[in-house]
Amino acid sequence: LSRCMDWFDLADVAGGDVMQGLSRIQVEKALAIGTTTDILFPLQQQQQIADGLRAGGAEAEFLPLDSPQGHDAFLVDIERFGPAVAEFLARI
C-alpha cells in the first residue's frame, strides 16, 4: 500500500489536476473522514476528496472528527469512527 501511494498520483491521470482526477472516479456514494490532529492527511485534503467526488456526480460526504490519535485514529479510535462509518453504511 505504501508503494502504491508513492508511485501513483491521481493528478497524473488528469492532466495535473487532482480535482479533475477525483471527478472522474465513478462512485455513487462516499464518506471522507478526517481528524483535526492528522498531520499526514489534513482535513482540507479530506474535504478536497469529497468535493472532487461530488464534482463527478457522487453523493459524497465529508466528516471532520476530533481525535487525539492523529493519523492513526482510523485504526484505534473506534468510539468515534465506528458510529460514523456504521451510520453511513446503514444509508447505502
Residue type at position 58: A
pLDDT tens digits along 14-66: 888 999 999 999 999 999 999 999 999 999 999 999 999 999 999 999 999 99
Residue 44 main-chain phi, psi, to 5 deg: -65, -30
Q: How many structural domains does the chain have?
A: 1
| Structural domain for 39, as ranges | 2-90
Residue 29 main-chain phi, psi, to 5 deg: -135, 145
Nine cell digits for residue 43:
482535513
Taking alpha carbons only, the member of 27, 1, 23, 2 closest to residue 13 is 23
Q: Residue 92 and residue 73: Cα distance in Å, rounded? A: 24
Q: Say whether 11 sits in a helix, a strand or coil.
A: helix
Q: Which H or E run includes 63?
A: strand 59-65
pLDDT tens digits along 77-88: 999 999 999 999
